[in-house]
Structure 1
Amino acid sequence: MENVLGRIVAGKVTDENEEDYFVQVAGTTFRLSKSEIKKPLHLGSNFRGFTYENEDHQMAMTRNAPDAQVDHYGWGTVVRNQRQLGVFVNIGLPDKDVVVSLDDLPDMMELWPQKGDRLLVTLREDAKHRLWGVPADMDIFQAIAQPANKHMQNANVTATVFQLKLVGTRVMTEHFELGFIHPSEREREPRLGEQLTARVIGVNDEGTLNLSLKPRAYEAIDDDAAMLLAALEHSQDGHLEFSDKSSPAAIKAYFGISKGQFKRAVGHLLKARRITQHDGALWLVPVTPDDPSTPADEA
């Protein structure tokens, strides 16, 4: 069966029953479900389809070929993992998930893909005629990548992790831009195949992205700081006659929080550069397009 499994090949219809046609390719007979065929096939006619071994260990053929084939890459969705084997990936076959071997996965199992994660894979046939999924390497991702636009600065992107290294995490966005996440720009290391929402913090001259998984300063503020910021934004001239010198009673009456909560909220907003404090008052800092804390839809 060399050069047959995991590919689209032509064969001859040799038999049929109520449910299947039987197509012979290079001396091997494959089942073809009649549910896929709109116009009946005749014995002796030729048929082209994708060949594989299904979950019942039967040689099968389908007209609905997956994108992932031998020498072709396609996205698949992880359905489960097995510690001693690897992860099972749905590439679109009706009765078969392909396995990505643990040899092609991170050494740390907690970084393995989980159910719902995505992998770009090709197929490989081993010496026992079993099909395995093989993740795409950096060369493949570079070959299919599209250059990023300079206007993407500070935008949110959806990206899939495809490479884990000590220096950082490499991803590809849903629009095929390559991205890199430095360890300092994440709270934890993402899994292989994990889909992330990241923020563009740099667009390199070669068209790749530097990304961050950390929230913008305005997104990271707590409820008290958000309430204080909203009060400033709705004030008539962007300031409020309060400071860390204001009395606890006045703060409680106006904001409904303690002076300690007020001071923490003020400190948070000062650190985020959203306000200034002078002349016994709090002042809102106008947001400009060049401000790195500006939301993408405001920039």
Structure 2
Amino acid sequence: MFNILGRYHTLSATRATDNGMYLQLADLEVLLPARYVPADLQPGGSIEVFVYTDSEDRLVATTERPAGQVGDIVALPVVDKVAFGVFMDWGLAKHLLVPKSEMGQPMEVGQRYVVRIMVDYRSNRLIGVNKLAPFLETPADLQEGQQVEGLVYDKGELGYRIICNGRFAGLLYHNRVYRGLATGEAVTCYIDNIRADGKVDLRLTAGGLAGVEAEAATLLSALEGAGGFLPFTDKTPPELIKDQLGMSKKAFKRALGRLYKARQVAIEAEGIRRLA
């Protein structure tokens, strides 16, 4: 069951009924309900499906594609809260249960959280697990400056914990963040430091020339969105730059210098203007 549930399978159709098409999965028959059966699927044909269990714990197939499969770490919204856990919307009619015993943080309806999709060995049901520490390990080949794709797990005293590439955790310090991040939000990060104990520090900018180019692109986009003029000067408070552009004043100056050198902007007494 563990190798069947929560995964994609390409299966052969065996027989059609009023309820749908039965598919062969090893020595089992799995129903693909009629609403998911393509018009051209006939017995003897094959189709890729996702296999899970219905509300009565019967194996069932679907052509719908959920947010992930077993082993994937994903961010999902909570749609219902009950005494024994929460239910999350993962793209299927049957919501994904996160048992209370598997919640590593308070989880509320309407908010997104990061979970790992798993098969509960006690019930043979698909569940979400929010306690991720046992499944995370810093890769031995990780390098400083490397780009990673992350999901915001939570916000702590020092900064945000980010689950990177679905494999390891990193810390993004508050003084490296220039805009609010929401739990479950997808964010591109870069490895800033790998500590002796294997813990990873992150940053949001690439660093070097690539980082300056990214900052310049952000500033140029903001200029275009503001009609070609921004009232930012050397005297503009860092907090305003942070709120409006999502970058530090130091990064703003780097970006401005890059655009000025490329003759894409003019620096005026009251601000900066986009040049055609």
Calculate the TM-score normalised by the size of structure 2: 0.54
Tell me which amino acid in the other structure corresponds to 1:49: V
How far is 1:22 from its partner?
Answer: 1.8
Unaligned 5+ segments in structure 2 are 205-229, 241-246, 258-276
User: What is the CA deviation profile of residues 116-147 of structure 1, one whole-angstrom value per residue up to 9, with x for unaligned ones?
Assistant: 5142522213333211122444754745x976
Higher gyration radius (CA): 1
**2:193 is matched with which residue: 191, 204, 207?**
204
3-state DSSP of counterpart to 2:15? strand
Give percent identity, aligned residues only: 17
Cross-structure match for 1:89: 88
Distance 1:232 1:182, change over 3 A: closer
- Higher strand proportion, which one? 2
> Deviation of residue 190 (structure 1)?
8.0
CA contact (8 A) 1:177 1:209 kept: no
Specify the alignment match of 1:225 in structure 2.
none
What aligned pairs does 1:7-26 form with structure 2 within 5 A after superposition? Answer: 7-9=7-9, 11-18=11-18, 20-26=20-26
Deviation at 1:297, TM superposition (A): 4.2
Q: How does 1:5-44 map to 2 (within 5 A)?
A: 5-9=5-9, 11-18=11-18, 20-38=20-38, 40-43=40-43
Residue 171 in 1 paired to residue 155 in 2?
no
How far, CA to CA, are the matches of 1:146 and 1:140 in structure 2? 14
CA distance in 2, matches of 1:30, 1:138: 33
Query: Which residue matches 2:185?
Result: 195
| 1:51-70 mapped onto 2 (5 Å cutoff) | 51-55=51-55, 57-66=57-66, 68-70=68-70
Paired AA for residue 23 in structure 1: L
Q: Match for 1:105: what amino acid?
A: M
Q: Which residue of 1 aligns with 2:215?
A: none
Residues 106 and 184 of structure 1: CA distance in aligned 2, closer, same or farther (over 3 Å): farther
Provide Cα deviations, 1:172-201, integer angstroms capped at 9, x if missing partner: 579x99652457889xx987x44388999x
- State how far apart, in whole Å, the 2-side matches of 1:292 and 1:167 are: 22
Task: In structure 1, list runs of 5 or more residues that go unmatched.
Answer: 153-157, 212-229, 240-267, 275-288
Aligned to 1:160: 151
User: What is the CA deviation profile of residues 21-79 of structure 1, one whole-angstrom value per residue up to 9, with x for unaligned ones?
Assistant: 12243554422134444453333555553211134655310244546323x31424213
**Aligned residues of 1:147 and 1:208 also touching (Cα < 8 A):** no
Structure 2 equivalent of residue 99 of structure 1: 97
Give the match's secondary structure for 2:129. strand
Aligned amino acid, residue 103 of structure 1: S
Report the aligned-residue RMSD. 5.2
Distance change in 2, residues 1:141/1:32 (3 Å): farther
Which residue is equivalent to 2:77?
78
The amino acid that maps onto 1:99 is L
Cα distance in 2, alignment partners of residues 105 and 58 from structure 1: 26
Q: In the aligned structure 1, how far is the partner of 2:253 from the partner of 2:158?
A: 28
1:121 has 2:116 as partner: yes
Residues 215-269 of structure 1, C-alpha deviation per residue, up to 9 Å, x if partnerless? Answer: xxxxxxxxxxxxxxx9995xxxx99xxxxxxxxxxxxxxxxxxxxxxxxxxxx96
- CA distance in 1 between partners of 2:188 and 2:48 (Å): 43
Evaluate the alpha carbon distance shift between residue 89 and residue 142 of structure 1 in structure 2; reply closer, same or farther with a 3 A threshold. Answer: farther
Equivalent position SS for 1:170: strand
Give SS of 1:204's match: strand
* Alpha-carbon spacing, 1:46–1:127, altered in 2? closer, same or farther (3 Å): farther
Residues 73 and 117 in structure 2, CA contact (< 8 A), matched pair in contact too? yes
Inter-CA distance 35–196: structure 2 relative to 1 (3 Å threshold): closer
For 1:28 and 1:232, how far apart are their aligned partners in 2?
A: 67
